[in-house]
């Protein structure tokens, strides 16, 4: 969607309502299941706050973040979803939150078309639809082969080179269904991995050529020194100060795209956290 100009809660509510075809506040209120007066007082600014239930309803209806509606963010894209909306199990979400699954790697994979195609093929593979189709196809080829053999043995067709070639072709077309599917899935997945590797290598090369300098180091040192004596703080606080300092040094005043900056921010969070924990253990 891109980034929009700053706006207040009231301005955002009006813009979003009109953009989604609700010409009147009455029409929107009916969809939300609230009284028109209740809603109109919020949009007109008579009431300066909005209750959480209505905020969540509007976020889902317009498919934008709650922060965007409130005017806190100028980026309408949602940065978080309910587990139910994503179709993830609680265990899968827990693995992401506890970093058992690297969120940066998952992010790259979910952005890659080849990986998405591989997941669709996996879904078909798990559902056995394709396997049944291959079995039916193999049965047809087998029936044709047996029928030709029967006609040859019965003298109805000659045992010549053309017939032998047809039999050979029919036999070759009979393939193990699961083997074919897994080969295709593996090929798509490995293509996705290679594409991501090239993308990451290119980004890292561009990133390192611009950012690892004495100026960055000085900025990190300056940001950390703002907090005074770090021994006055807990380990988690000190860790947070260092991570935030690196983000300021690397991301501030950069000419990266918003998308790359967001990924880089998450990457710094994960990598620096692991490095600092490693320092502590050693």
Q: pLDDT tens digit string along 33-57?
A: 999 999 999 999 888 888 888 988 9
Tokens of 179: 């083997």
Q: Model pTM?
A: 0.36
Nearest CA among 4, 180, 146 for reference residue 76: 4
**Confidence (pLDDT) at 28:** 93
**pLDDT of 93 above 60:** yes
Cβ partners under 8 Å of residue 207, min gap 6:
264
Checking if the pLDDT of 78 tops 70, the result is: no
Whether residue 144 has pLDDT greater than 60: yes
d(CA 27, CA 20): 11
How far CA 135 is from CA of 94, 141, 178, 181, 182, in Å, comes to: 39, 10, 10, 12, 15
Q: If you average pLDDT over residues 125-129, what whole number do you get?
A: 65
Tens digit of pLDDT for each residue in 195-235?
877 776 666 566 555 555 667 778 888 888 888 888 888 88
Query: What pLDDT, on the 0 to 100 scale, is given for residue 120?
Result: 81
Distance linking the first and last C-alpha atoms of the chain: 45
Q: Which of 1-5, 186-190, 218-222 has the lowest mean pLDDT?
A: 1-5
Write the pLDDT tens digit of every residue in 94-103: 777 777 777 7
160 contact partners, CB below 8 Å, separation of at least 6: none
Q: What pLDDT does residue 21 have?
A: 92
pLDDT one-digit tens code per residue, 164-176: 888 888 777 765 5
CA dihedral 175, 177, 182, 188 (to 10 degrees): 80
Mean pLDDT of 17-31: 92
Task: Examine the pLDDT at 281 and tell me if it is beyond 70.
Answer: no
Mutual angle of helices 103-111 and 177-211, in 10-degree steps: 110
Query: Distance between alpha carbon 257 and the CA centroid of its chain, in Å?
Result: 18
Q: Please calculate the CA angle 195-271-109 and round it to the nearest 5 degrees.
A: 25
The predicted structure's pLDDT at residue 22: 93
Helix, strand, coil content of the chain in percent (nearest 5): 75, 0, 25
Please give the residue that has the higher pLDDT: either 251 or 75: 251
- CB neighbour list of residue 68: distance below 8 Å, 6 or more residues apart: 4, 12, 74, 75, 76
Structure confidence at residue 81 as a pLDDT band (50, 70, 90)? low
Q: Is 157 left (phi over 0), alpha (psi -120 to 50) or beta?
A: beta
Percent of the chain with pLDDT over 90: 9
- pLDDT tens track for 242-272: 888 888 887 776 666 777 777 778 888 888 8
Q: Which DSSP symbol is given to 167?
A: H
If you ran DSSP here, which 8-state letter would residue 233 be given?
S
* pLDDT the model gives residue 42: 92
CA distance 137 to 142: 9
Helices (H), strands (E): how many in the chain? Answer: 15, 0
Is residue 149 within a helix (H) or strand (E), and if so which, with residue range?
Answer: helix 129-153
Q: What is the mean pLDDT of the chain?
A: 78
**Nearest residue to 260 via CA among 202, 217, 209:** 202
């Amino acid at each position: 969607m891109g980034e929009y100009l700053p706006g207040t809660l009231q301005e955002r509510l009006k813009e979003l309502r009109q953009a989604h075809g609700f010409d009147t506040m009455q029409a929107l209120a009916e969809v939300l299941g609230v009284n028109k007066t209740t809603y109109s007082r919020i949009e007109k600014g008579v009431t300066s706050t909005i209750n959480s239930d209505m905020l969540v309803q509007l976020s889902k209806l317009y498919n934008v973040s709650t922060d965007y509606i409130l005017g806190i963010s100028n980026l309408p894209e949602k940065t978080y979803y309910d587990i139910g909306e994503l179709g993830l199990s609680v265990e899968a979400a827990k693995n992401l939150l506890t970093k058992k699954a690297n969120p940066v790697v998952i992010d790259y994979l979910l952005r890659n078309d080849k990986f998405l195609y591989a997941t669709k093929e996996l879904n078909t593979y798990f559902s056995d639809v394709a396997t049944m189709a291959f079995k039916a196809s193999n049965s047809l080829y087998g029936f044709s082969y047996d029928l030709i053999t029967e006609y040859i043995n019965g003298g109805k067709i000659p045992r010549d080179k053309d017939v032998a070639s047809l039999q050979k072709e029919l036999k070759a077309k009979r393939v193990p269904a699961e083997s074919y599917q897994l080969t295709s899935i593996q090929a798509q997945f490995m293509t996705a991995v290679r594409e991501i590797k090239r993308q990451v290598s290119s980004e890292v090369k561009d990133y390192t050529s611009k950012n690892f300098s004495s100026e960055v180091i000085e900025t990190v040192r300056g940001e950390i020194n703002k907090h005074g004596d770090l021994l006055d703080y807990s380990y988690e606080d000190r860790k947070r100060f260092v991570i935030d300092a690196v983000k300021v040094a690397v991301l501030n005043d950069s000419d990266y795209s918003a998308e790359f900056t967001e990924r880089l921010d998450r990457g710094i969070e994960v990598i620096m956290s692991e490095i600092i924990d490693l320092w502590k253990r050693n």
